[in-house]
Amino acid sequence: MGGSFGTALMVDVTERTAEASQLPGEWYRDYLGGEGIGARLLYDLVDPDEEPLSPLQPLIFTAGPLTGTAAPASGRCVLVFRSPLTGTLGAANAGGHFAPALKRAGYDVLVVSGRSEVPLVLVVDGEGVDFIEVPDIWGKGVVETETLIRSRLEGTGWQIASIGPAGEKGVLFSSIMTDRHRAFGRGGAGALMGSKNLKAIAVRGAEEMPLADPDGLREGARKAREELFNEAFVRDEMKPFGTPSFYDAMSGLGILPTKNWQRDSYPESIGTLGYRAYHETLEVRPYACFGCPIACGRHTTIKSGPWAGMEGGGPEYETVAAFGSKCLVTDLEAVAAANHIANDLGLDVISTGQVIATAMEWVDRSILSEERLQGLPLAFGNGEAVVRLVGMIGRREGLGDLLAQGSLRAARELGPEALDAVMTVKGMEMAADGVRASKGEVLSHVISPRGADHLRPYAPTIDAFGYRENELDITTDAVISFGEDGNKGWVRPLMANAMIPNLLGVCLFTNITLAVRPSTWAELFSCALGRPVDKDELLLAAERVINLERLLNASFGFGRADDRLPDRFLKEPGVDGPGAGQVVDLDAALDSFYEAMGWDLDEGLPTKETLIRLGLDWTL
């Protein structure tokens, strides 16, 4: 019985068992799919008293109802887990082709728990589940790992998610990589997978997608692609130049973190790190995830210098900023090398770059002793030191071992004076999306369930483009008063809108520019599941998930007191660009935000009325 959606494969690597389980059909009504189902499942599976790296903790890979369909950019996979870096909900979101393969194997969700005694590869296809012992692959980088695993599997069509040495060694911001260069990056999922002695997961399948109305879906997909390419930013920037095209704009808007966030723009780097330079300095090929007409991904080869010939996926905008502007490094080849090495080791490039920028500030302020540095010429601007330190972190060598715990734990080890340079929220390193000139981005970083987060909602959308009519209940007044005291009018609908792709299994880039309309997503969802849903129900479900994640974090001990930005933004006025002279009034922003969400001002938790409105009062 039950619908055709919602088959979860529950794998225990301790016992090497696997069982298919039908998730409640109601969940695909209340949480839509993807991250929503993952969060709901975590709510049942997680024991808040268990440590994040306990064998009992699950890794929950989710596909969405649109994953693997004709809907544009439908290759996304959201991994839900409890983050060993932050202790919060972890929700790492990767592109590539892994989730469509999982779905074609017959599963919408893959849950892995337990701890194996020997390194394993979990093999899932339509026929069944297998466990292959791979002690000899343990220690290998991601690219070699994928190659070796493919050589041991029969046939073709395998999609692989694996960890590198960083995940094996428990680096708290290690990633799980898929399709070699796409990352489940944020929150340390690699360490969780490593703690299970699980080196990789290989998936393939040939099942028909269970679509209620394939013709309607194709028609909806055509409409979505049209809406996507009506958006000039997608058409004229993201498609031809990928995410590196953001770099120049972010600097101009004063939201490009520079020199560990002491500055917010870096005009002098545009000539070497800007998107035109990027496409000239590196040999670039576009890369598309499953079903993506944008193909924003870049695959690059370093053409000259000490790392000539090194190749891989990226660097993306975030990586250019992480190893570039944040570290005051203008050498794109060093940035690309650091990127390629980090990916192969299985490190989250965002946290890695940020932790290095923080360490550079510690050097500046003589907080890192010579003994810690052991001769590493770490200093703002030294690209070669960045490249070396990336490797040391991934292998936990010397200073790398200290930094592998993340900035906050490292600072605590160094002493209270180190804390000022730590740019984290809830222990998560901030991505490269500045806050002084984007009061909306303040909220993104502070209120995301997974710690510092530039994507929920991606507020620069409005900073950069202004608000364009997109069926959301946002008034012009609200946009005009955008900022600390005006959150009421825009943040709730914008957050819900930004959550939709994570639920449906499509890429956030389809709607951070507000390109694809909620009503179009509703149409696509309806065609996939055969149940009519309108945009308001879709947005309400997204809001329900946002609130459920807030409740999950509350069970982990997080509340208003943890919704803090680094003091730097509250105390040190901006020195350049549009944010010059500005500091953040965080308490005003939070009050206004909680009020908009229907959360109480003391704890920042959904009120009883809000839970009732969202049908979440069963959690009471």
**Least spacing, CB of residue 212 vs its own copies, in Å:** 8
Is residue 48 near its own copies by the rule CB under 8 A? yes
- Binding-site size for its own copies (CB under 8 A) equals 31
User: In this chain, which stretch among 38-46, 51-59, 186-194, 285-293 interacts with its own copies, using CB under 8 A?
Assistant: 38-46
Give which of 109, 117, 161, 135 is closest to 16, Cα–Cα: 117
Is residue 54 near its own copies by the rule CB under 8 A? no
Query: Bridge-partner residues for 297, per DSSP?
Result: 287
**Least spacing, CB of residue 25 vs its own copies, in Å:** 4
User: In this chain, which stretch among 25-33, 288-296, 480-488, 576-584 interacts with its own copies, using CB under 8 A?
Assistant: 25-33
User: In this chain, which stretch among 128-136, 288-296, 432-440, 612-620 interacts with its own copies, using CB under 8 A?
Assistant: 612-620
Is residue 25 near its own copies by the rule CB under 8 A? yes
The CA–CA distances, whole Å, from 173 to 3, 122, 575 equal 37, 22, 30
Sorted by sequence, the CB contacts under 8 Å of residue 109 that are 6+ apart come out as: 6, 7, 8, 9, 23, 37, 38, 41, 60, 61, 62, 63
Q: Tell me whether residue 472 or residue 527 sits nearer to its own copies (CB atom).
A: 527
Q: Tell me whether residue 47 or residue 567 sits nearer to its own copies (CB atom).
A: 47
Is residue 24 near its own copies by the rule CB under 8 A? yes
| Sheet-wide strand order for 159-162 | 128-133, 120-125, 198-203, 159-162, 176-178, 182-184
Is residue 469 near its own copies by the rule CB under 8 A? no
Q: Tell me whether residue 442 or residue 542 sits nearer to its own copies (CB atom).
A: 542
**Least spacing, CB of residue 8 vs its own copies, in Å:** 12
Helix extents (H) in 46-134: 98-104
- Residue span 590-609 as binding mask against its own copies, x where in contact by CB under 8 A, dash where not: ------------------x-
Q: Tell me whether residue 173 or residue 525 sits nearer to its own copies (CB atom).
A: 525
**Of 9, 28, 75, 78, the one binding its own copies by CB under 8 A:** 28
Radius of gyration (C-alpha) of the chain in whole angstroms: 22
Q: Tell me whether residue 24 or residue 157 sits nearer to its own copies (CB atom).
A: 24
Is residue 136 near its own copies by the rule CB under 8 A? no
**Least spacing, CB of residue 2 vs its own copies, in Å:** 6
**Least spacing, CB of residue 611 vs its own copies, in Å:** 8
Asked if residue 70 lies in contact with residue 33, where contact means CB atoms within 8 angstroms, the answer is no
Q: Which of residues 192-231 bind its own copies (CB under 8 A)?
A: 212
Copy the structure tokens of residue 428: 């998560």
Is residue 22 near its own copies by the rule CB under 8 A? yes
Token pair 């890695």 is found at: 352
- Supply the DSSP symbol for 480: H
**Least spacing, CB of residue 46 vs its own copies, in Å:** 6
Q: Which of residues 514-533 bind its own copies (CB under 8 A)?
A: 529-532
Q: Report CA 148 to chain centroid distance, whole Å.
A: 27
**Of 16, 29, 303, 488, the one binding its own copies by CB under 8 A:** 29
As a three-state string, the secondary structure of 501-532 is: HHHHCCCHHHCCCCCCCHHHHHHHHHHHHCCC
Query: Bridge-partner residues for 18, per DSSP?
Result: 11
Asked if residue 469 lies in contact with residue 227, where contact means CB atoms within 8 angstroms, the answer is no
Q: How far apart are alpha carbons 360 and 367 in whole angstroms?
A: 10
Peptide bond into 457 cis (omega under 30): yes
Burial of 525 (0-12, 13-18, 19+ CB in 10 A): buried
Q: Tell me whether residue 47 or residue 127 sits nearer to its own copies (CB atom).
A: 47
Query: Bridge-partner residues for 92, per DSSP?
Result: 79
Q: Tell me whether residue 33 or residue 244 sits nearer to its own copies (CB atom).
A: 33
- Residue span 529-558 as binding mask against its own copies, x where in contact by CB under 8 A, dash where not: xxxx-------------------x--x---
Copy the structure tokens of residue 475: 């008034």
Asked if residue 146 lies in contact with residue 162, where contact means CB atoms within 8 angstroms, the answer is yes
Where along the sequence are the contacts to its own copies (CB under 8 A)? 1-3, 22, 24-30, 43-48, 212, 529-532, 552, 555, 608, 612, 615, 617-620
